Amino acid sequence: MDVARFPERRRLYSTEPGVQVLAIEQSPLCEPVAHLVLLHGLEGSHEARYMVSMAQVALEAGYRVSRLNMRSCGGTEEFSPTLYHAGLTSDLRCVLETLRGESSHPLFATGYSLGANVVLKLAGELGETARGLVSGFCAVSAPLDLAACVREISKFSNRLYEQRFVSRLKDRYGRRHQAMPEQFPADGLAAVRTVYEFDDRFTARAFGFGTADNYYATQSSVGFLNGIRVPTLLIQAKDDPMIPFAVFEADALQQNPFLRLLAVENGGHIGFIARSGPRFWQDAVILDWLAEQMAAAARLV
């Protein structure tokens, strides 16, 4: 990241009483053509490589960029007394509404992995009202069906991915327990070995979902795709080890004209490495799509 040309600014957004989320914001060298908000994946932060890469490319193209951390991520545990989850859309919505109130520039949001589920779910929740807020959404490697994706992650071939996720989730929860033991009871934490067990014992309990199954059923973005009413791009690799491509056979992806699925044979999970140019292939694809949406909007004026 070229911070000499594009200095970083830390900004805290108050999204609800007692909760703040951190965004790292940067401006281009010219008048911004649009504002792009980026949201990371499970146990990620504004420092994720795919976030930094996309931000650099977008800044070069004249976009203002905000790399948003989910609550308690990116070293912000002191700013939130709660965790985050795959369907927590209120923080992103608050940030987008704040930015819309400050500027008339086109506003877009792009999510990666778990952040992609948040972005798509919010788009569906907003429905028609999204048109006055954002110009479009983009989702990269979106776990549309959380239950199906957790089952995929639990396969033997993905044991290293799952171990890494579980270790980070347990570490974060353990820190919350140390700070607020009554609010975050840690009974059974040491025995957790899978993402499903963590969600069933801790995520679901923390947010009142009851069980992991209910959490997945109510927070999966696949149930919100029909409600999306602004241009939305989904980028997905068929060989993603954590997301079975069958979830992209949802009826909404064929029937909702606001959705465009760009499916490629290879790329893994947010692993679309480019042969030249930007490190990640999806960066240029997203920029082209953003430009297309702005050009289409300009023709309607």
Of the residues 199, 200, 269, 283, only one is catalytic, namely 269
**Beta 9-16 vs 136-140: how paired, if at all?**
unpaired
Q: Which residues pair with 38 in a beta bridge?
A: 67, 110
Q: Which of 113, 135, 141, 221 is catalytic?
A: 113
d(CA 118, CA 153): 19
Residue 27 buriedness (CB in 10 A; 0-12 / 13-18 / 19+): middle
Q: Which entry of 199, 200, 240, 283 is annotated as an active-site residue? A: 240
CA dihedral 59, 87, 105, 24 (to 10 degrees): -40
> Do the strands 107-112 and 19-26 form a parallel or antiparallel pair, or are they unpaired?
unpaired
Strand order in the sheet with 63-68: 9-16, 19-26, 63-68, 34-39, 107-112, 136-140, 232-237, 259-264
Is 187 strand, coil or helix?
Answer: coil
Give catalytic status of residue 113 as yes or no.
yes
Active site residue 45: no
269 catalytic, yes or no? yes
Closest CA to 158 of 242, 236, 237, 239: 242
**Catalytic residue numbers, as ranges:** 113, 240, 269
